[in-house]
Amino acid sequence: MSVQKPVILTCAQPTGVLTLGNYLGAVKNWATLLDDNTCYFGVVDMHAITVKYTPADLRKNTLSCVAQYIACGLDPERSNIFIQSHIIGHTELAWLLSCITPIGDLQRMTQFKEKAAKLGFKVSEEQTSIANQGARQGSSLNAGLLMYPVLMAADILLYNADSVPVGNDQKQHLELCRDLAQRFNHSYSDTFTIPEPFIPKTGARIMSLQDPQRKMSKSDANQNATLHILDKPDLLRKKIMSSVTDSGNEIVAREDKAGVSNLLQIHTAISGTSTADLEASFIGKGYGDLKKEVADVVIAALEPVQARYNELIQDKSYLESVLKAGATEAQKRAYKTLGKVYRKTGFVERPR
Ligand code: TYM
C-alpha cells in the first residue's frame, strides 16, 4: 500500500517581480519540500486584481511569476504549478465560505486595514464601520479587498492542504482559514483538513531597506526599499549599500537596531551562518563592511536564479506545458473537494 504524502499548498500574487522577502520567507523554502510532500504552488492572479492594475501587466507578470518559481527551484517534475484562474473551484468555494464568514472578522484583518488606509479609508476601532474618506479622493474600497482572505482560505481548503508554508505576514489569514474550516466541519460534518501554517525560523519577515520597521514589499513607493530577485547585481549592491542602519557602530541583532538586524537576518537566511557567528565575525568592523558582505551574499545567491529565469522566460511553450500539467492535477483534486462540499451543503447534483 502506498503511503500518502502530506499535501502542501501555497501561493504568491503576480503583482510584480518577487522580492527578496518573497524569496527568503517563502519560495526558497518551498523548494525544500518537494520530495517529502505533494506540492501545489499557485500563482494567484485573482487576488492580484483586488488592487488597481493593468491587464497587460497582469498577463505578463503571471507568466513571469511562473518562470520565477521554477528559477527559484520549484521543480515542475516534482510539484504542481498552476494559475488560480485556470482552476474551477477557487471562487466557487470562496462564495460558500463567505456565507459562513462574519464581516467583522474580515474588517479586523491587518492587511485589509493597511490596504484600506493606503486608499484613504479608515476602519474604525470598533471594527463596525469604514469611514469613507477615500471616496472624496476619487478612490473606492472594493468588496474584493475585504473578501481577499476568504478567497485565500478557499485556495487552501480546495486542496485539503495539510500545511501552508508562508511568511509571517500571512499568519492572520491562515488563522481565519483554520476558523472557517472548523466552522464548516462543525456545521456540515468533517470535510476539510485543518491546515497548519509553516513559517520559517529565519527570513519569515524581511524588512524594508529604507524603513526597517515595515516589511519589504513589492508595492513600496520607494523602490530603494525593496530588493527584487531579478534586479541586476549593480542595483542590488546600490540598494543594500544605501540601506538605513542607525547612528551607532555595533553590528548586533537587537530590537533597537532594526536595520542592522535586518541585514544580519538576510545574511543568515542565505548563508545559514547563525546570528551569533555573524556578530562575532563583524567585531571591530563597520556598517560598510556588513553591507558589502550582505550584497556579495545576495548577489551570489540570485545569480543562478537570474540566469535560469532568463532562459525560461524565452521558452513560452515550456512554461505553458508546465501550466497544463499543473492545472490538470490541481483541477482533479479541486473537483474532488468541490463535489464533496456541494453535496454536504445541500446542492442538487447536476444530471449527467
Ligand atoms: P504575497 O504574494 O504577498 O507573498 C508571497 C509569499 O511571500 C511571503 N512574503 C514575505 N516573507 C518574508 N518577508 C517579507 N517581507 C515577505 N513578503 C512576502 C508571504 O508571506 C507569502 O508566503 N495572500 C498571499 C497569497 C496567497 C496565498 C494563498 C498564500 C493567496 N492564496 C494561499 C498561501 C496560501 C500573498 O499576498 O502573498
For 310-349, write each residue's pLDDT tens digit: 999 999 999 999 999 999 999 999 999 999 999 999 999 9
* CB-count burial class (<10 Å; 0-12, 13-18, 19+) for 44: buried
* CA-proximal residue: ligand 1, atom 25 (nearest): 12
Torsion sign (Cα): 238, 244, 249, 255:
negative
323 CA to centre of ligand 1 in angstroms: 20
- Position 1 scores a pLDDT of 62
Which residue carries 473578501 as its cell?
A: 147
Task: Identify the pLDDT of residue 122.
Answer: 76
Q: Count of alpha carbons within 13 Å of 152, Cβ hemisphere only?
A: 30
Q: What is the pLDDT of residue 136?
A: 44
Residues of the chain scoring pLDDT < 50:
127-128, 134-136
Domains of the chain in start order, with CATH, are 7-204+316-345 (3.40.50.620), 223-310 (1.10.240.10)
DSSP H helix total and E strand total for the chain: 15, 7
Q: Which of 218, 239, 257, 291 is catalytic?
A: 218
User: Closest ligand 1 atom to the C-alpha of 168?
Assistant: 20
Sequence-separated (6 or more) residues with CB below 8 Å from residue 114: none
- For atom 18 of ligand 1, the residue with the nearest CA is 22
> How many Cα neighbours within 13 Å face the side chain of 112?
24
Q: How far is the CA of 281 from the centre of ligand 1 (A)?
A: 32
| H helical segments located in the chain | 20-22, 28-30, 45-48, 55-71, 90-98, 103-107, 110-118, 133-136, 143-157, 171-188, 233-241, 258-271, 275-281, 287-312, 316-345
Global confidence as pTM? 0.95
> How far, in Å, is the centroid of ligand 1 from the Cα of 167?
6
Beta carbons within 8 Å of 350's beta carbon, 6+ residues apart: none
pLDDT value of residue 352: 86
